Amino acid sequence: MKVIKYLYYALLIVSALITIVFYAQGCPESMVPLLLNFAYVLVFVALGGMILLPLFFRDGKKMEKSTMLSYGLFVVVILCAVLFSTDAPLEGVQTSVEPSAGDLKFTDGIVMASAILVVVAFAAIIVGNLKNMFSK
């Protein structure tokens, strides 16, 4: 499983380098496609890990049920975010190439889903820590 650890470190280093170069150059518009494509790569790596890793690390029937429940909740969050997203462009933003309505809706949905999942993750961390604190 050292391959996963090395992949994690490689993605972390590449992310840091891209971020440093982006801000060092003063946030040029020419780097936005690179950032978006790398974000897509990170999303697909995360999805692949979410789907494949539980197949290798099984812990019985209870673990399989919770994994399936997690998959279902993830799909529901993504679908709700995409359904409630809009294809309206941001006001005041000028680009050289006008994005399509599908691109705008997809990007808005992913941003919504990311925000929802970040809030859920922080809530789970806080609730888990409070539960551990009061159970001892």
Per-residue pLDDT tens digits of the chain, which is 136 residues long: 688 789 889 989 999 998 898 888 888 888 888 888 888 888 888 888 877 877 777 777 777 787 788 888 888 998 999 899 888 887 887 777 788 888 888 888 888 988 998 898 899 999 999 999 988 7
Taking the chain, what is the end-to-end CA distance rounded to the nearest angstrom?
A: 33
Considering 57, 80, 96, which residue would you say is the last residue of a domain? 57
For the chain, how many structural domains are there in total? 2
Residues 88, 50 within the same domain: no
Considering 41, 57, 73, which residue would you say is the last residue of a domain? 57
Q: Which two tokens stand for residue 96?
A: 């050289």
3-state SS of 65-129 is HHHHHHHHHHHHHHHHHHHHCCCCCCCCCCCCCCCCHHHHHHHHHHHHHHHHHHHHHHHHHHHHH
Q: Which two tokens stand for residue 41?
A: 């790569």
State which residues form the domain around 44: 1-57
Residues 103, 133 within the same domain: yes
Residues 67, 116 within the same domain: yes
- How far is 77 from 71, CA to CA, in rounded Å? 10
**What is the average pLDDT score of the chain?**
85
* CB-based contact 95:32 (threshold 8 Å): no
- How far is 77 from 46, CA to CA, in rounded Å? 15
Residues 12, 75 within the same domain: no
Q: What are phi and psi of 27, to 5 degrees?
A: 55, 60
